[in-house]
Structure 1
């Protein structure tokens, strides 16, 4: 049973980052549909508000996960209102459209990509600040909220790029690999306080980020021998499973969800 009066998250308080679109929005919908009261957060405040308006018992907050004070304020607001926080799904992240264009240009010209030597400090820091620093800020705030109650589940959204480390995308691969290792380390610490931390690592997924991927690069990800691009809902189902009691014995897991493109 799902909805307002039932579901496996009935009575639970959940916070979702990156909930304005894509995987984060799909997670917010899944959690709300299974009974959770959801705080939808996003750097794009109106997008977070649009998601929350779709859902019963939902609220929106504008949060830049790269800014620790904003993250802390959001978590403090949830705990102030409800006295607890039960579920966190951290789906906020960024890519680098310029680097993608450079990779696509190389593919079309049938030459090796040359990205690292052209990659500026600002582009490197932006990806790291959101994808890696942001994951730390969210995990730290989640433990501060959950550990005193000795209960809670946190799911971070990583990437298959952490494993296959595509040529020409070093900053993104590094940020996601770092986020995976960070989540696994925190998971070992957090479980002593009753808090579970796990990660889902999607492959190509039909999100706004994917929509900005150049056609040549999208074609490179296509392969008739594997599943097509995942939907945000398919990845959300994995994240919600990890946050549920059905995954009670999963701690520090990184679930690869790339449709069979490779295994590790």
Structure 2
């Protein structure tokens, strides 16, 4: 696949959340390179602006997906400008660096991680608000725009963590598992209105989240029998496949992109 211009998304209006970095930024670049007019949304406004400046005709949006009003305003702005939204890739998400540190400390000490008993309400709610509530806010706004036109494609970025449910990472695993089920339920509803919804579930990927992962934990993810960490561009290519007409018969799919670490 790759980032060269293919015309695959010529004339399409596309919104990418989490576009300021990592997988979202790679998706925004790929979509623009393949002809889409991209709205690059991120809670970090300057990061969204930086990515948008790279891309032909791209527009930055500052959006906190935990705030439904901000989400609805962003979708409304796109519809006001273009009358429609053709492609949505929802890549906004967060991890928990503190919990990762606790897991890494346990690995180094060769003892089981003890996280759940130490996990505060604020940490739990933050991860759930962004990863699960945010996915609901974005999917709801997308259907409000796309379903009346009987057209549109949505790709959500989940995680392989929803399946292997790593010890010591309960809030992240639960948030991503919930986001998968949410996307699949919405997919079954949305297809009746001509809207396709699918999910890509990456494994370890070289993003800002990975950069914050402690060295001991990164070594734990390393395995010579499987592919190394994915690049954001490799995951973006899977997302663009799901967003393209080549995936016309995929509805409610969750595609594991974890380099062969496990299957589900």
> Under a length normalisation based on structure 2, what TM-score does the superposition of the two structures give?
0.98
Matched, 1:245 2:249: no
Deviation above 3 Å: which 4+ runs of structure 1? none
Kept in 2, the 8 Å contact 1:2–1:35? The answer is no
Q: Report the CA distance between 1:149 and its aligned residue.
A: 0.5
TM-superposition CA deviations, 1:64-122 (whole Å, max 9, x none): 00111000000000000000000000000000000000000000000000000000000
Equivalent position of 2:71 in the other structure: 71
- Distance in 2 (CA, whole Å) between partners of 1:210 and 1:2 is 26
Q: Report the CA distance between 1:57 and its aligned residue.
A: 1.2
The aligned length equals: 262
Q: Report the CA distance between 1:42 and its aligned residue.
A: 0.2
- Distance in 1 (CA, whole Å) between partners of 2:143 and 2:7 is 25
Q: Report the CA distance between 1:13 and its aligned residue.
A: 0.0
Equivalent position of 1:149 in the other structure: 149
- Distance in 2 (CA, whole Å) between partners of 1:83 and 1:200 is 28
Kept in 2, the 8 Å contact 1:188–1:251? The answer is yes
Q: Report the CA distance between 1:2 and its aligned residue.
A: 5.6
Equivalent position of 1:30 in the other structure: 30
- Distance in 2 (CA, whole Å) between partners of 1:84 and 1:63 is 19
Equivalent position of 1:255 in the other structure: 255
- Distance in 2 (CA, whole Å) between partners of 1:148 and 1:244 is 20
- Distance in 2 (CA, whole Å) between partners of 1:2 and 1:68 is 35
Equivalent position of 1:43 in the other structure: 43
Equivalent position of 1:113 in the other structure: 113
Kept in 2, the 8 Å contact 1:42–1:48? The answer is yes
Equivalent position of 1:129 in the other structure: 129
Equivalent position of 1:193 in the other structure: 193
Gaps of 5+ in 2: none
- Distance in 2 (CA, whole Å) between partners of 1:35 and 1:223 is 37
Kept in 2, the 8 Å contact 1:2–1:8? The answer is no
Q: Report the CA distance between 1:206 and its aligned residue.
A: 0.0
1:107 match: secondary structure: helix
- Distance in 1 (CA, whole Å) between partners of 2:8 and 2:53 is 22
Equivalent position of 1:228 in the other structure: 228
- Distance in 1 (CA, whole Å) between partners of 2:15 and 2:103 is 35
TM-superposition CA deviations, 1:194-247 (whole Å, max 9, x none): 000000000000001100000000000000000000000000000000000000
1:85 match: secondary structure: coil
Q: Report the CA distance between 1:141 and its aligned residue.
A: 0.3
- Distance in 2 (CA, whole Å) between partners of 1:71 and 1:209 is 23
Matched, 1:16 2:16: yes
Kept in 2, the 8 Å contact 1:100–1:214? The answer is yes
- Distance in 2 (CA, whole Å) between partners of 1:210 and 1:138 is 24
- Distance in 2 (CA, whole Å) between partners of 1:223 and 1:158 is 22
